[in-house]
Structures are given as C-alpha cells and as structure tokens.
Amino acid sequence: MTYPIAILVLSALGMKTALRIKASMPEVTIYGLEARVEGADFSYTNFGETVRQLYQNGHAVIALCAAGITIRSLARVLGDKGAEPPVLAIADDGSAVVPLLGGTTGVNVLARQIAAILEVSPAITTSGELRFGTCLLNPPPGFELKNPEDAKTFIADLLGGKTVRIEGDAPWLQDANLPLDDDAELRILVTSSDVAPHKGDLVFQRKPTDTKSVSSAEATTLAGHKHGRLAVVGLGPGNPDFMIPAVKRVLNNADDVLGYETYVRMAGPFRSDQTLHMTDNREEMQRARRAFELAATGRSVVMVSSGDPGIFAMATAVVEALHESVDASWHAVELEILPGVSAALAAASRSGAPLGHDFCVLSLSDNLKPWEIIEKRISLAAEADLAMAFYNPISRHRPWQLPRAIDILRKYRNVDTPIVLGRDIGRPAETLRVITLAELTPDQVDMRTVIIVGSSLTRSFERRDGGKWVYTPRWYGTKPES
C-alpha cells in the first residue's frame, strides 16, 4: 500500500528543509502554517487538527517539528496498528529523521529515503530493522507481502536466533544480513503464483506488470462500468471528529470533489490524483448538473456541504436536477446522500440540550423565498411555542431582516428566554454565547452564527467554567412525578 505523503511545516527554516526533500521527491505535498511559512502547496492554521486529519485520511505524515508535538497531537486518534500510515518527525533544520509510527507500513523505508536526501542517519528504533538492516516487511514496488499477519512472529523467531532460507529471487534482501541457512525451518518465498503460506513462511508475491496502478476512473472504464457515482455529503460543522466515517470513505475514494472552496478545503487534504472543483457559482442547479455530467462519464464524484447536505445545502438541488433530467446516463449514476451534523445540532450540544423538545429550523435568508413567508413562519412557530434554530441569520445584503425577526419573537416570548449564539462551531475560531432575548442585538450575529431561540420552557443555569447550560425539558406544563 502506498500513502500520499504530506509534509507539515511550522517555520521558515522547516520550509527550507521541506523544499530540499521535495526537490528529490516531487510527489510530496507541503502544508505550511499560515502567516509563518511561505511557498507551501497548502496552508493551515491549526497544526493538531491538520495532522490528525491527514493521518486519519491515510496520508504518510512528515512533521518538521519536535516529535513530542506530533505524538501529542496524534495520541487521541491512534487506533488500529495494522492500518497505520507512516509518521515521521524531522528536526526543522533537517539534522534528525525519526520514524514514529507505521513500522509495518514502511516508515523506516521512508526514513532512510529522506535521511539520504538530508545526508543524515535515520534514528531507527525497530529491533528487527536494526538487526537485519533492511525492512523485510517492505518489499520494493512490484512485490507484495502475502501474509503480513505472520510477520511479527517470523521476525521474533529470527531475532530469537532461528535461521532462514530464501527461495526465489529477492534482490532487496541481498544486503539484509539475514542468518541464512539452506536447511532452515523458516522460509522466505518469492513467487509469481498465488500460493498459500505454510507455517514458518513469509511469502512475497510478484505482481504481474500489467496491473500497474491506474486511477479509479480509469479502472472503472477498464472494467466496463460506464455509470459513475455521485455522493452528496455533509462534512459536519468543521472538526473531522464530527464527520461520519462513510463520508471519510467516499472522500477517500473520490476522483472529483466539488463545492465551495472553504468546504472543499475543509474536506481535504486530497491526493494529487484527485481533482478539486472549487465553485464560487451561486447557482445551485448549475452546480448540481455539473456534478451529474462528471459522474455520468464514470467518475466517482463527491459534492460537499458543511453540516448536513439536506439542510439549506446542495442535496435538494442535486435531487431536483435528477428529477428534471431525461438523460439516461444521469439516472444510471449511483446517487447517495450522506448526512452530517448540522450547525443547530452542533451548537445545541455545546450548550446542553436547548432542542430537547419540539423545535423547528428556519433560514432567515430571503434570497430564495419571500420575506413575508419568513415572518409568518417565525410568528406561527413562536405562537406554537417551538424552540427555533435560525440559519443564515444576517448578511451585508440583508441587514434589516434579523431586527424584524427579533421584534416578532419579543411579541411572543419573555425577555428572559435563553438564546444561544453559536459561531464557527467545530472550527478553530469557535465561540458560544448564552444570552437572553432582551440582550439579543443584530451586531452580535453574522453569517457564521446559528441562533437558537428557546421555547417558554427553556431554561439556563451557571456552569463551572463561567458559561451557562441551557436545556428544554421534555415534559410540558407540569413536571411529571419521578
């Protein structure tokens, strides 16, 4: 398995080292800390989040900073050892190369390669590695280890003093200093055929040369499946921890990713074989049609929205575009909508449970519907004593609508009704404020805010950190006996 390689840089000196590496390994992608590093392929603002996201999306990670920073950042996402991509720490001046994770996925090979470029010795700590000089477990391209599950025992046996014989041609093991013995019980078998490993075998299979890697789009075409896929996915509010695994999977398998630039960036990082289509186009139907056109050629297309794709986002336009189309190739596309954590739910969870009873979700934008409808809905929702979540609450072009909405609320609700203002929830700049309806003014709100308005039963109380908990009880009128 090969991993796309990401280099994370935090300083100008680190950038020099990264460029030295890239000069010999042009396939790497450099991520630079915004405002500190110039000339990177991509910039990021939060090291921890970026390194976790890259790692979780299956990138080999090279961090040009202290090993401790990288380990601490990744600690909470370290899981399945088998699938772990390589992670290396490199001193920002290039003086030390330290493989940290990914012993079975080639970290030491990568460490050697980079150490050679930087003209230093890699700090390899895997005992099997040190002893045998080369990583048995990482054959060169064209060979595949058939039984990696037996490798640990195999190496332990070798380290314990057993000898080994090699059958077949394994040029990469020539300098391995293996304890060779023609009568050995352990065997390394290199073969072109599909043999089942015996006990004590480590089997490397030579792959036929005509199956060199093809992109999934080409593979689809080769296999003759003409219809592609279109997934309309919700990224959640921002933090990848809030993204469902199925979305991560389709992003990983995507040939094309479409969406507003901010969301496409949020969904990344991506490999160089994936095509990004950053659309500024405000016309949703046009974007939806574009997605079908691409998918109909047999590609795997993912369209990203923040939060949930079905809540004031792209899923509706996509389904509508399909409904309007008579093109058979569009109807043959495998269409899938994958949900996400919507802004109201993310903000609600941060503040307690303000949406714990009946509630409704309203967009205050009158771009696509008349303002009278919005006013009417707010009035009726207030009268029905629903808690509410307001999306798209205000913008430069829509300055007077939110004040009108607040006036309506004050007609129906007490001035001490709790209001939650969630801004950039799940993103590095997240803020959450709990105020009252009396205190709510439009200047505290912008397009990156979701407003939660309590019902007549919603209440709040102090929490230890100085903020407030908010909840809407599930009983109505009088509390049932408990």
Dist. CA 279–CA 268, nearest whole Å: 15
447 near ligand SAH (CB under 6 A): yes
Residues in region 292-311 near ligand SAH by CB under 6 A: 305-308, 311
Encode the chain in three state secondary structure.
Answer: CCCCEEEEECCHHHHHHHHHHHHHCCCCEEEEECCCCCCCCEEECCHHHHHHHHHHCCCEEEEECCHHHHHHHHHHHCCCCCCCCCEEEECCCCCCEEEEECCCCCHHHHHHHHHHHHCCCECCCCHHHHHHCCCCCCCCCCEEECCHHHHHHHHHHHHCCCCEEEECCCHHHCCCCCCECCCCCEEEEEECCCCCCCCCEEEEEECCHHHCCCCHHHHHHHHCCCCCEEEEEECECCCHHHCCHHHHHHHHHCCEEEECHHHHHHHCCCCCCCEEEECCCCCHHHHHHHHHHHHHCCCEEEEEECECCCCCCCHHHHHHHHHHCCCHHHHCCEEEEECCCCHHHHHHHHHEECCCCCEEEEECCCCCCCHHHHHHHHHHHHHCCCEEEEECCCECCECCHHHHHHHHHHHHCCCCCEEEEEECCCCCCCEEEEEEHHHCCHHHCCCCEEEEECCCCCEEEECCCCCEEEECCCCCCCCCCC
- Of how many residues is the chain composed? 482
Using an 8 Å Cβ cutoff, are 370 and 341 in contact? no
Rounded-to-integer distance, Cα 317 and Cα 311, Å: 11
What is the smallest separation between the CB atom of 287 and ligand SAH, expressed in angstroms?
14
Q: How far is the CB of 245 from ligand SAH (least distance, A)?
A: 18
- Euclidean distance between CA atoms 65 and 87, whole angstroms: 12
Angle at 365 between CA 364 and CA 368, to 5 degrees: 130
Contacts for 240 with CB less than 8 Å, ≥ 6 apart? 49, 52, 53, 56, 248
Q: Which of 74, 425, 434, 437 binds ligand SAH (CB under 6 A)?
A: 425
Using CB under 6 A as the criterion, what x/- string covers residues 230-269 for binding ligand SAH?
-------xx-------------------------------
Name the segment binding ligand SAH (CB under 6 A); options: 81-89, 253-261, 271-279, 391-399. 391-399
Q: Which is nearer to ligand SAH, 433 or 448 (CB)?
A: 448
Q: Are 138 and 204 in contact (CB under 8 A)?
A: no
| Residue (17 or 392) nearer to ligand SAH, CB | 392
Interface with ligand SAH includes 354 (CB under 6 A)?
A: no
**391: contact with ligand SAH by CB under 6 A:** yes
- Residue whose CB is less far from ligand SAH, 112 or 423: 423
Asked if 450 is part of the footprint of ligand SAH (rule: CB under 6 A), the reply reads yes
Least distance CB 290 / ligand SAH (angstroms) = 19
- Of 135-143, 166-174, 339-347, 371-379, the segment contacting ligand SAH by CB under 6 A is 339-347
> Is residue 392 close enough to count as binding ligand SAH by CB under 6 A?
yes
Q: Which residue is nearest to ligand SAH (CB)?
A: 307
Per-residue binding string, ligand SAH, 86-115, x by CB under 6 A, is: ------------------------------
- Nearer residue to ligand SAH within complex by CB, 228 or 236: 236
Nearer to ligand SAH, 55 or 312 (CB): 312
User: How many residues at the interface with ligand SAH, by CB under 6 A?
Assistant: 25
312 touches ligand SAH by CB under 6 A: yes
Interacting span for ligand SAH (CB under 6 A) from 131-139, 370-378, 390-398, 465-473: 390-398
Check residue 422 for interaction with ligand SAH (CB under 6 A): yes
Nearer to ligand SAH, 50 or 449 (CB): 449
Structure tokens at 119: 């003209």
Which residue in the set 14, 139, 228, 426 belongs to the binding site for ligand SAH (CB under 6 A)? 426
β pairing state of 186-191 and 256-259? unpaired
Under the criterion CB under 6 A, does residue 388 sit at the interface with ligand SAH?
Answer: no
Q: Which is nearer to ligand SAH, 102 or 422 (CB)?
A: 422
Q: Nearer to ligand SAH by C-beta: 52 or 59? A: 52
Please say which residue, 18 or 231, places its beta carbon nearer to ligand SAH: 231
- With CB under 6 A as the contact rule, the residue among 164, 313, 318, 408 that binds ligand SAH is 313
Q: Which of 74, 423, 437, 471 binds ligand SAH (CB under 6 A)?
A: 423
Interaction pattern, residues 198-237, with ligand SAH; x per rule: CB under 6 A: ---------------------------------------x
Considering only 166, 296, 343, 362, the residue that binds ligand SAH (CB under 6 A) is: 343
* Residue 14 sits in the site that holds ligand SAH (CB under 6 A): no
Q: Which residues bind ligand SAH (CB under 6 A)?
A: 237-238, 305-308, 311-313, 342-343, 347, 391-393, 422-427, 447-450
